[in-house]
Structure 1
Amino acid sequence: MTDLHDDDGRYALPFFLWAILLFQARAWLLLVMAGVSQQQGEELLRLFVPESTTLYWGLGLGLPALICLLLSGYRHRYPRCWRASRYCVLLSGALICLWQLSQWNRSALEASPVLLLLTVFDIVTELMLLTNSRLRHCFNQ
């Protein structure tokens, strides 16, 4: 067996796929962390997401990545859904990039470079999903 396959002979999902999916589902991760931290959950949400509409947008746009994460364990049972999930993740990633670009203004970028960094990382993840042959191959088994 090569390092590209697991013990059962199936194609192993690359680390970058997990990182990309977790990055796109970051609003869901923040919501879970706030839920686990019962006493300071609301403060944690206000610290990272000052506006509630931003959290709702993040949850909505991160949903395809979350579904893809959950579907990854059943990718051999539901191959059509698994293949379609790549396009859903690509589309939601493009929408995340467009939404973040619409949030750009001079005062926001001067106050904190986080929005710029998140946008750059989102563009890099989109390019990796489009161009990386190993990431493409894991959806076309």
Structure 2
Amino acid sequence: MNLIFSPDDYDAKGQLRLPLAFWAILLLQARTWVLFVMAGASRQQGASLLELFYPDSHAFWLGLGSGIPAALGLLLTGYRQRFPRLWQSWRWVLMLTLAGMLLLQVFTLWQGEQASPLSILFTGFDLLALAWLGLNGRLRACFDPASNGG
């Protein structure tokens, strides 16, 4: 399937602009990092904020680890032309990370742990994000070096 884009879909460097939903997915995947930064900014209430979302410190560290690919993806967006092979594979890295997070959530539910409404909500968002990363033609074109001036 060949998608046709208008000249407005490209930036000044000739790269296809990343969709807004892609940035939202990166923030969703790096949500523990975002919360960590927010807690650091609010020194007086930072610890209580972290305990509210992550009562188990193991889950917090797991969230930080699973957010690393998204944080690196945020940095990598500025280097799409410089590292085209790395950029081209990064969509798969993000998809594998999301799949791993979903499998971990299913495993914890299977072990009999109680799921909070917030974790169910984020699991649903992760599932939608995984589907969008895999199926959106515009995003696939953004990861194709031929569509990015390369």
Please give the TM-score of this superposition, normalised by the length of structure 2.
Answer: 0.86
Percent of counterpart pairs with the same letter? 45
Deviation at 1:125, TM superposition (A): 0.4
Query: Which of residues 98, 105, 121 in structure 2 aligns to 1:100?
Result: 105
1:78 aligns with 2:97: no
Q: 27-36 vs 98-107, which deviates more?
A: 98-107
1:1-141 paired onto structure 2 within 5 Å = 2-104=7-109, 108-109=114-115, 112-141=116-145
Deviation at 1:104, TM superposition (A): 2.1
Structure with more relative contact order (C-alpha pairs < 8 Å, separation 6 or more): 2
Q: Which amino acid aligns with 1:82?
A: W
Asked if the contact 1:101/1:119 (under 8 Å) is kept, the reply is: no
Hey, what's the Cα distance between the residues in 2 that align with 1:116 and 1:44? 19
Hey, what's the Cα distance between the residues in 2 that align with 1:93 and 1:102? 14
Deviation at 1:10, TM superposition (A): 1.9
Structure 1: tracts of 5 or more residues without a match:
none
Deviation at 1:27, TM superposition (A): 0.7
Q: 9-18 vs 125-134, which deviates more?
A: 9-18
Deviation at 1:102, TM superposition (A): 1.9
Displacement over 6 Å in runs of 4+: none
Deviation at 1:7, TM superposition (A): 3.0
SS of match in other structure, 2:18 = coil
Deviation at 1:114, TM superposition (A): 1.6
Hey, what's the Cα distance between the residues in 1 that align with 2:106 and 2:129? 15
Deviation at 1:20, TM superposition (A): 0.7
Hey, what's the Cα distance between the residues in 2 that align with 1:93 and 1:16? 15
Deviations 1:78-122 (CA, angstroms, capped at 9, x unpaired)? 11111121111111110011111122267724xx32221111111
Please give the TM-score of this superposition, normalised by the length of structure 1.
Answer: 0.91
